Every structure is written in C-alpha cells, then in structure tokens.
Amino acid sequence: MIALFCTVALAAEITWVGGGHASNPQWSADGGWLAFEVNNNADRVDLYVVKLTAGAAGMAQKVAIPGARSSFDGGGTYAANPNWHPKGPVVFEGSNSGGQTRLYYLQPGSGTAAELLPLAQAPGNLSWPTLSPDGATMAFTSSATGVGDVYLFSQAQNKVSLAFGSGFPENAPRFAPDGRQLAFSRKSGGTEELFTWIVGTPTPTTLVGGSGDQSRPRYAGSEVVYFTNERGNDHWDIAVIATTPGALRRIVARDVRLPLRSPPQLTPDGQSVVYGTMNAKEDSAIFVSRLDGSSTTKIETGMRAVGDPSVSVSEGRSWLAFTGLPAGAADWRQLHVIELR
C-alpha cells in the first residue's frame, strides 16, 4: 500500500459556478462521485456533487434543498456534512434561511434533494448523519431533548429511537466496521471526551478523557482514530487507541491541519491516515502515515495550506481529493483530485 503513494499520475481541478472556499470532499462508496462543501464566507454553505470518470470531472452540480427558490439562489442556506450510503445516495444536513437543520438525501444525477425524516418522526435540529457499513441504520444527533443526543434510524422498520439517555451534548457518531458499536464525542466540563457504545446496551463506555478536546472519532478495524488538542488549542494531533480496556493511545501525526467537519481520513485499506500540516514549510504537501507508526509518505501538490484530504479507489485506480490555496496570490480555496501510484 505504501508504494501506491509515491508519484502523482494525473491532476484535475474541480470547478463550480461562483466563488467560495471548498472543503470536506467525500467520495461515494464506488469512487465515482465526489461531494464537497463551498462556503462563500457571507451567508451560505452549499453542497455540490460531481461525477468523475477516469479522473476527468465535469461541472459540479449544486444540491438544492427543498424550499429554496432555485439551485442558484440560496441566500442564507446551509448544506454540509455529506455521508454516502453504500448503495448510492448522499445524506447530509441542511437548512434554509431561518429554518431548522434537517437531514436530506440526494441520488447523484437527480435534481432537488428530499428530506429524509419528517419533523413529526424526528423533531428538533438534526446533524452529524452517519451510516452503518450495510446502510441499514443511520445514527445522527438531535436537539429534541435540548442538549443534542444520539438517535438511530432503522430503514427497514422506518423507526427512530433514542440511543441512550444523556445530559450532555454529543457529536460526530461513527459506526464500527461490524455496525454493532458507535464511537462519538461528548462535551462536558469544558472539554470533549470520546465514548464507545455497544448498540442496544444502556450506557456508553468512556474511551478517552483528560485535558483538551478529543474529537471526531472513526474506526480503523478494532481501533479508533481521532483528533486531539491536549497540547493546546493551536496544536491538533491525530491519535489512535484500541477499544480494549486499559489501552494506551499513540500519536501518529502532530500539528495537522484540522478539517472543517470531517473525521481523520483513512486510506481504503484502513491502515494509514491522510492529512495536511500546519507547518508552513511543508503545507504544500499531503502526508500519509501508517497507523502503526512504521512510515510516512509525502505527496507534493504545488499549492499552499493544503488539507481536507479524502482517498478512494475506483476501477483499480487510487484518487486523492484535497483543498488548497493557489501558489500565487491568495484566492478561494480550490478543490483538486489527483491520481496516486
């Protein structure tokens, strides 16, 4: 797998109508589509999807939320945090101006997105959607109880249920590979801690506590990869810890460029983490570090302040999406896709 990340074979810039900073690119399960956010730094965050064929991309399609006046007239709208269903649709959170944040889904290539859960079934502001590996269950957070609790939606039963009771705000739930366990973060006492929860049990188990924030966990096999700023607010590191009792965490990357919303991004084999750096001397590169600490590979991009990496394999070819600033004068943060060999 390491040899895959030695040279850049093909590069393409993803374009869209209008300005804005690109962020949070996320690949579909088959690697044929890419969803990403665009923030105009004024009154809206938009979601786009684009189809890629052998690395070539057409014009990105802006996703329209029900109730917006048109797909290109969405002042005050918010559409973000895309998560792909294994069978195709992209699920995301969004709101129109002044409205509640709700969950929506879009079949790539179609028109306006549709609301996933009606207000009567899942009241409150909904966010952080994530899907089980088989796509049968979705976890998300809801403000219905006032603090932000984790809920589950069973597609087969068309049923929404509270996962467990809590008096604290929770964020960023993620399923384990077997779909029987969740990792998530919880804010309490000015810090953010990580927990795991076995589906169907009464209470979660603390995974990582301590000083600073432990944030946005995701599973890599039987381990959990997450961001931590225990060294201070200006220093975000990537850590790994096993879910077995008494396990010690290890740091695999220091002073990384924290993505706006996504958890740490892994290579398709789940053995390495991909990230940008806050080191100004090396912020033109994306790095790939093995989770076991055995090696790190550097990928030069020719841009500045690069980050938001996301890796996929499609038809036997490996692709890296990332954002960055042009090498010249400051401009909008652009989105690029490169083939890796």
pLDDT one-digit tens code per residue, 125-165 = 999 999 999 999 999 999 998 889 999 999 999 999 999 98
Amino acid at 228: T
Tell me, what amino acid is at 171?
Answer: N
DSSP string, 277-334: BS-TTSTTEEEEEETTSS-EEEEE-SSEEEEEEEEEEETTEEEEEEEEE-SSS--PPE
What are the strands of the beta sheet with 149-154, ordered from one edge?
126-131, 137-142, 149-154, 159-162
Collapse the DSSP code of 3 into the 3-class scheme (helix H, G, I; strand E, B; otherwise coil) and give the result: helix
For the chain, what is the mean pLDDT? 90
pTM of the model: 0.93
Q: What is the pLDDT of residues 17-71, one digit of tens each?
A: 888 999 999 999 999 999 999 998 777 899 999 999 887 888 899 999 887 554 4
pLDDT band at 8 (very low <50, low <70, confident <90, very high): low
- pLDDT tens string 230-282: 998 889 999 999 999 889 999 999 999 999 999 999 999 999 999 999 999 99
Question: How sure is the predictor about 6, in pLDDT bands with cuts at 50, 70 and 90?
Answer: low
Q: Domain 2-340: which topology?
A: Neuraminidase (2.120.10)
Residues 327 and 317: their CA atoms lie apart, in Å, by: 27
User: What pLDDT sits at residue 341?
Assistant: 78
Token pair for 287: 């790095």
Q: Are 259 and 322 in contact (CB under 8 A)?
A: no
Q: pLDDT: is 146 or 116 the higher one?
A: 116
- Judged against a pLDDT cut of 50, whether residue 72 lies above it is answered with no
Yes or no: say if 98 and 89 are a contact pair by the CB < 8 Å rule: no
**Domain boundaries in the chain?**
2-340
pLDDT of 293 above 90: yes
Q: What is the mean pLDDT of residues 286-295?
A: 96
Higher pLDDT, 42 or 303: 303
pLDDT digits (tens, 9 = 90+) for 162-190: 999 888 999 999 999 999 999 999 998 88
Backbone angles phi, psi at 111, to 5 degrees: -90, -120
CA distances in angstroms from 286 to 4, 42, 131, 140, listed in the order given: 14, 29, 27, 30
* Joined tokens for residue 338: 């490169």
Q: Which amino acid type is present at position 169?
A: P
- Token pair 């597609």: residue: 155
